Structure 1
Amino acid sequence: MWKVKAVSVPKDDFLASKRSKHSFRDALSAPVSQPSISAAKAQLNIFSRMPKWVDTLMNIRNKTVKYFGFKVATDSTLHMEKTDLKLGDSAGFMTVISVHDQEIISFAEDKHMQFYMSVTTDGQQATVSTLVNLKTPIGRLYMALITPFHWIIARVVIHNAVQEQRL
């Protein structure tokens, strides 16, 4: 049933070059049914549809953490009227900072953390890799609290995209 797998984190990619002492990094991979899908389209297709329970959790999270200086999105999903993401586009609470056919990188920063996300495609797999550089003790505490939620939500959202053949 679950086709989403944790994979080794790349050691020599762009995100690795941005990693700081206090950080969290992971990578999840899933098969694609559209071999020619670009990384930008894969990111849109994965994150454009969130389960209602994820939206509810994100709304609670956003209402809570904004008072502590964390960056929050006004909408947790990407909008499907977009057909692709381009350099400088808003992608949820992040901004697209690099776009290539096989990789797109988005970035966000607040006083507690830097957040990078890379989506890559190779014709057979799509891989979503995240890097969170934790700048403050509050950022480290926050990450410790939300890591279990991240593991579940990321897998469910990617799994849903695979099941619905959006990848």
Structure 2
Amino acid sequence: MEFFANIFTNIKALHKPFNDRLDQKVVNHHFRDALGVKRNNKALTPSQIQYRIFAYLPSWVNVLMRIRNYLVAFFGFEVAQEGVNPKTEELSIGDKAGFLTITEKYNDEIISFAEDKHMMFYLSVALNENDIIVSTLVNQKTLIGRIYVNAILPFHYVIARTVISNAIKAGRI
């Protein structure tokens, strides 16, 4: 992963504590990570930042998600609907953003959630004075959930950094 760290120099992997509200949601077997980037536009809300990062997935990510959805449907995983993008940058509780539903919204953080029989997935976009912190939490309920998370970690590593880096390069965040 050292190779990718040299590519994504504007993104820093953070170490605990991540200073978000997801730590309150951790249970038993889980995966947790967070990425930080410099906060250049302090006028943007967490909602706008989430939209500006994740509503612009590269086509190769969409292809990988279609393949993933086809493969995991056999194991009882939730399969994301394609093309579910919010109509506005200012998301509200209950809005769908891809496969996630907005469940909590604060001035400094927005939390999205998805669940199936194998795991609970959370995404947080939080702000502090100087940084944007994008973090994930996956609570794994079953052995299949744990195997799945370990299998997709390399993809998660590259995709998360790619979409954040693309948003930075495009001037969206």
TM-score surpassing 0.5? yes
Normalized against structure 2, the TM-score is what? 0.89
Q: Give the corresponding residue for 1:98.
A: 104
Q: Give the corresponding residue for 1:149.
A: 155
Task: Describe the shift of the 1:78–1:17 C-alpha distance in structure 2 as closer, same or farther (beyond 3 A).
Answer: same
Normalized against structure 1, the TM-score is what? 0.92
Q: Give the corresponding residue for 2:58.
A: 51
Pairwise CA distance, 1:37: 0.7
| 69-78 vs 104-113, which moves further | 69-78
- How many residue pairs are counted as aligned between the two chains? 166
For 1:62, the aligned partner's letter is: N
Task: Describe the shift of the 1:123–1:36 C-alpha distance in structure 2 as closer, same or farther (beyond 3 A).
Answer: farther
Provide Cα deviations, 1:20-71, integer angstroms capped at 9, x if missing partner.
1210000001123311110011000000101111111011001111121111
Q: Look up the SS of the partner of 1:74 in the other structure.
A: coil
Q: Following the alignment from structure 2 to structure 1, what is the Cα–Cα distance between the partners of residues 63 and 116?
A: 22
CA contact (8 A) 1:49 1:78 kept: no
CA contact (8 A) 1:5 1:29 kept: yes
Q: Give the corresponding residue for 1:34.
A: 41
* Overall identity of the aligned pairs, in %: 45
Q: Give the corresponding residue for 2:165.
A: 159
Q: Look up the SS of the partner of 1:25 in the other structure.
A: strand
Task: Describe the shift of the 1:86–1:66 C-alpha distance in structure 2 as closer, same or farther (beyond 3 A).
Answer: same
Q: Give the corresponding residue for 1:109.
A: 115
Ranges in structure 1 where 5+ consecutive residues have no aligned partner? none
Q: Following the alignment from structure 1 to structure 2, what is the Cα–Cα distance between the partners of residues 54 and 152?
A: 10
Q: Give the corresponding residue for 2:70.
A: 63
What RMSD in Å do the two structures reach over aligned CA positions?
Answer: 1.6
Q: Give the corresponding residue for 2:91.
A: 85
Pairwise CA distance, 1:77: 6.3
CA contact (8 A) 1:113 1:132 kept: yes
Q: Give the corresponding residue for 1:14.
A: 21
| 10-19 vs 22-31, which moves further | 10-19
Q: Give the corresponding residue for 2:144.
A: 138
Provide Cα deviations, 1:107-149, integer angstroms capped at 9, x if missing partner.
1110000001110123532111100000000001101100010
Task: Describe the shift of the 1:137–1:106 C-alpha distance in structure 2 as closer, same or farther (beyond 3 A).
Answer: same
Match of 1:127 among 123, 128, 133: 133
